[in-house]
Structure 1
């Protein structure tokens, strides 16, 4: 299976305000990205799945990557 690079944009609904986020990650499919982010935001920020909203998940090329950690993995 070949991994792809995705850019994820969304919103975290905290108790007092909404916080936008953008992440770049490698995965085989979009569902893997969602599960990884649910797990990460749930453990670090103590958010439920209903408090994490994904606005846009797009596949990007290696040239479009801006995250230095993801680009080092390429």
Structure 2
């Protein structure tokens, strides 16, 4: 598993909200799908209202999310 940072924005009719999520996935395409699923279920947003701007693979020292960092580094 690799850590990815997916950035983008949620576009609703009268609101535009930027977001950045760190997720675990094998490929960047899987990371994007995971973000679509998480944001869609948590915020009730359809995929057509989510715009992905970038996907970046992160090194262990760049990870900010403590759960993702713990899984990647194997710390206990």
Bucket of the pairwise TM-score, normalised by the shorter protein: 0.7 to 0.9
TM-score by structure 1 length? 0.87
Q: What is the match of residue 64 of structure 1? A: 62
In 1, are the aligned partners of 2:6 and 2:35 still within 8 Å (CA)? no
Shift of 1:15: 3.1
Number of equivalent positions: 72
Structure 2 residue aligned with 1:20, among 18, 21, 25?
18
In 1, are the aligned partners of 2:5 and 2:57 still within 8 Å (CA)? yes
**Cα RMSD for the two superposed structures:** 1.1
Unpaired stretches in structure 2, ≥5 consecutive residues: none
Unpaired stretches in structure 1, ≥5 consecutive residues: none
Shift of 1:63: 0.8
TM-score by structure 2 length? 0.85
- List structure 1 runs of 4+ shifted beyond 3 angstroms: none
Give 3-state SS (helix, strand or coil) of 1:66's partner: coil
